[in-house]
Amino acid sequence: MVDPISTPLEDARTRLREATDLLGCDPGMYAILSNASRELTVSIPLRRDDDSIEVLTGYRVQHSVARGPAKGGLRYSPHVNLDEVRALAMWMTWKCALLDVPYGGAKGGVTIDPRQYSQRELERVTRRYTSAIMPIIGPETDIPAPDVGTNEQTMAWMMDTYSMNKGYSIPAIVTGKPISIGGSLGRATSTSEGVVHIALAALRDNGFDPTKCTAAVQGFGKVGRGAAQFAFDAGMKVIAVSDEYGAVFNANGLDIEKLGAHVDSTGKVVGFNGADALDGAALLELDVDLLIPAAIEGVIHEQNAPKVKAKIIVEGANGPTTPAADRILESKGIIVVPDILANAGGVIVSYFEWVQGNQAYWWQESEVESRLEERMLGAWAKVHDFAKERKLSLRGAATVLAVQRVVEAHVIRGLYP
Ligand code: GLU
């Protein structure tokens, strides 16, 4: 019988436990941090285009507000459930703390397959969900952003619903919104750009010349597509790319720009000229220098980790590697750069967007990009050095550094009342 794969919430708590044990924290601190500070479940009645009524479920979880307002994306996926949202919210807390962005962590989700709904239906879902969670969100309390299955249009509807209810425009209520209503230049590509900054640093610091490296990217959405493009632009040979329908492979390297054009016209990577079809799961087991999982949680687990041959894994997705897989990869000498560091580019530029919105003063794209690079590389150096000094994995080091910052905030603020 196949062992059950751990859930994202179990994974998040396992990593928190390891960090609080290493830091010698009081068990009460683990108890505080393993639970969310506020959770809201809402019912979303939707009038479908055929006039029938369907009731969906939505969540908003604020894991921590110890270091600032809660911050995190909104996910539309049929797999969304409260425990998944709790895990994703906790990871946002660590990500913001590690990158020293003055936020706590949050996440939202609606259990829906957005591809089965029209744009008008998605607009109604988004507006109803936004008004249902309005009591707990705000530019000073909790700021949503896009995640899997949502995009800048979703953010525009959220911003409009919130603003119409308040009676004036409040751009800083969401980040990742269109430029025309206060979005930041560079936000759309920021997560992918950050992933590749970290990948290049990790390759170089481990003695690889990126222009002689091969890469495989799982996922061709908001993160994977840009990561494949930036890796290609940096001179890497991207030999395989997948999406939820399958994968394509070319040992001589894929032309990512042409693949992007193919996806724009067909909606899938499969069928791309100049590449062979590959099983999506097989992509994770290719013999490449760099593997970027950029889709969803738990894709590298106890069962397939023994077959992974990549030299370095840089996590574009949140939680793609389970703790059991981590142990196997570590014993094989595979370097894993954790999500809370590798994919933090998105929330860094979200922070820049929020700052710009609050000040009503917009920055040049070059300014956004240079500040993003500076923060990503600064955090890389810090995590890398701390891992060496304390003989920890990169994930262990990143989690300890992040948890330590949040614990410090709790201790100095004291326990209310
Ligand atoms: N959903 C993204 C993440 O998981 C972005 C969150 C944000 O910008 O608030 O990091």
The domain limits of the chain are 36-172, 190-342
Ligand 1 and 213: CB distance under 6 A: no
Ligand 1 and 75: CB distance under 6 A: no
Q: What is the pLDDT of residue 274?
A: 84
Task: Judge if 36-172 and 190-342 fold alike in CATH terms.
Answer: yes
CA of 160 to the centre of ligand 1 (A): 20
CB atoms within 10 A of CB 78: 13
CB atoms within 10 A of CB 161: 19
CA of 72 to the centre of ligand 1 (A): 5
Q: What is the pLDDT of residue 1?
A: 41
Atom of ligand 1 nearest to the CA of 347: 8
Distance CA 329, CA 44 (A): 42
Write the CATH number of the domain with boundaries 190-342.
3.40.50.720
* Ligand 1, atom 8: closest residue by C-alpha: 347
Helices marked H in 109-223 — which ranges?
A: 119-133, 152-166, 187-205
Q: What is the pLDDT of residue 3?
A: 55
CB atoms within 10 A of CB 235: 12
Distance CA 133, CA 45 (A): 14
Burial class (CB in 10 A: 0-12, 13-18, 19+), 136: middle
Write the CATH number of the domain with boundaries 36-172.
3.40.50.10860
Q: What is the pLDDT of residue 177?
A: 98
Of the chain, the end-to-end C-alpha distance in Å amounts to: 50
The string of pLDDT tens digits covering residues 134-145 is 999 999 999 999
- pLDDT, one tens digit for every residue, the chain (417 residues): 445 688 999 999 999 999 999 999 999 999 999 999 999 999 999 999 999 999 999 999 999 999 999 999 999 999 999 999 999 999 999 999 999 999 999 999 999 999 999 999 999 999 999 999 999 999 999 999 999 999 999 999 999 999 999 999 999 999 999 999 999 999 999 999 999 999 999 999 999 999 999 999 999 999 999 999 999 999 999 999 999 999 999 999 999 999 999 999 999 999 999 899 999 999 999 999 999 999 999 999 999 999 999 999 999 999 999 999 999 999 999 999 999 999 999 999 999 999 999 999 999 999 999 999 999 999 999 999 999 999 999 999 999 999 999 999 999 999 999
One-letter amino acid identity for 32? I
The model's pTM is: 0.96
Q: Which two tokens stand for residue 320?
A: 């793609």
Burial class (CB in 10 A: 0-12, 13-18, 19+), 43: exposed
Active site residues per annotation: 107
One-letter amino acid identity for 180? S
Q: Do the Cβ atoms of 284 and 308 come closer than 8 Å?
A: yes
Ligand 1 pocket test: pick from 76, 191, 193, 376 the residue with the most ligand atoms within 8 Å of its Cβ. 191
Q: Do the Cβ atoms of 76 and 114 come closer than 8 Å?
A: yes
Atom of ligand 1 nearest to the CA of 176: 8
CA of 106 to the centre of ligand 1 (A): 9
* DSSP-derived pairing of the beta strands 312-314 and 335-337: parallel
Q: Which two tokens stand for residue 399?
A: 């989690």
Atom of ligand 1 nearest to the CA of 351: 8
